[in-house]
Amino acid sequence: MIDWQAFALTIKLATATTAILLVIAVPLSALLVLGKSRWLAPLEALTILPLVLPPTVLGFFLLVLLGLRTSVGRAIAAVLGHPLAFSFEGLVVGSVIYSLPFAVQPVVAGFSSIEPALIDAARVLGAGPVRLVWSLLVPLARRSLLAAAVLGFLHTVGEFGVVLMLGGDIPGATRTLSIVLYNQVESFNYEAASHTAVLLLALSIVALAAIYLGGRWRGGRNA
Amino acid sequence: MLEFRIKAQRGHFRLEVDSRFRSGWTVIFGPSGAGKSTILRILAGLDIPDDGRIVLDEEVLTDTAANHNVRPGRRRTALVAQHPALFPHLNAASNVAYGLASLDSEAQAQRVRQMLELVGAQDLATRLPHDLSGGEAQRVALARSLAPLPRLLLLDEPFSALDGAASDSLLSRLQQWTSDHKVQAVLVTHDATDAFAAGAEVALLREGLLFAQGPAVEVLGHERKRMIDRLDGFEKRN
ipTM: 0.88
Provide the pLDDT for residue A220.
45
**B101 with A126: Cβ contact below 8 A:** yes
- Length of chain B measured in residues: 238
Taking only the tens place, the pLDDT of each residue in B106-161 is: 999 999 999 999 999 999 999 999 999 999 999 999 999 999 999 999 999 888 77
Provide the CATH number for the domain around residue B19.
3.40.50.300
Domain contains B204: yes
**B73 with A126: Cβ contact below 8 A:** yes
Cite the beta strand spans of B11-117 per DSSP E.
13-21, 25-29, 51-56, 59-63, 68-69, 77-80
Provide the pLDDT for residue B16.
94
How many C-beta atoms surround the C-beta of residue A137 within 10 A? 25
> What is the bridge-based pairing of β-strands B152-156 and B184-189?
parallel
Q: What is the mean pLDDT of chain B?
A: 89
**A121 with B71: Cβ contact below 8 A:** no
Domain of B8 in residue numbering reads as 1-76+187-238
- Smallest Cβ distance to B89: which of A123, A131, A140? A140
pTM of the model: 0.85
Provide the pLDDT for residue A218.
53
Domain contains B42: yes
Q: Give domain A4-217's CATH superfamily.
A: MetI-like (1.10.3720.10)
Is residue B230 within 8 A of residue B55, CB to CB? The reply is: no
Domain contains B156: no
Give the C-alpha separation, A168 to A145, whole Å.
31
Is residue B150 within 8 A of residue B183, CB to CB? The reply is: yes
B88 to chain A, minimum CA–CA distance in Å?
8
Domain contains B201: yes
A99 to chain B, minimum CA–CA distance in Å?
30
| Confidence check: pLDDT of A139 > 90 | yes
